[in-house]
Amino acid sequence: MKISTKGRYALRMLLDLAEHSGEGYISLKDIAERENLSKKYLEQIVPMLNKAGVLKTNRGYQGGYMLAGDPSEYTVGAVLRLAEGSLAPVACLEKCPVECERKNDCPTLPVWQGLYKVISDYLDGMTLKDVMDSHRERRADSYVI
């Protein structure tokens, strides 16, 4: 499984909005500059996040975007599923229950199910707030004298 640019940018955009949540609506230009991301690419991601109800938007002079909820409400897994679709490591696990005609005779199915469970548990157990807190801790621990 490989996370696409779309998934990585969506996560970074939402983390930036979470980090600057006390500043009101944030422009895509500001996010793009801080995160060193393409503004045009972010413009393609916004409709998906907006449709899912993750963003609040405001047009005009003070316009921009903010998270619709608290950073602790959004898991990394949910964000990546919005951007990527499924996080299943193999196509046969994209539907539940598994519809593969070989599911009863497939010796590797339990391997992929186990991997999918580990991936899902890990990403669904981590919120935007958790990622921000971890990043702050790492920055605080890396000081130079």
The residue segments making up the domain with residue 35 are 5-141
- Over residues 101-108, the mean pLDDT reads 86
Using alpha carbons, list the distances in angstroms from residue 125 to 8, 58, 86, 131: 18, 31, 17, 11
Q: With 80 as the cut, is the pLDDT of residue 1 above it?
A: no
Number of compact structural domains in the chain: 1
CATH number, domain containing residue 42: 1.10.10.10
Q: Rounded to a whole number, what is the distance in angstroms from the first to the last CA of the chain?
A: 41
Give the pLDDT band of residue 54 (cuts 50, 70, 90).
very high
Q: In the chain, how long is the greatest CA-to-CA distance?
A: 62
User: What is this structure's pTM?
Assistant: 0.88
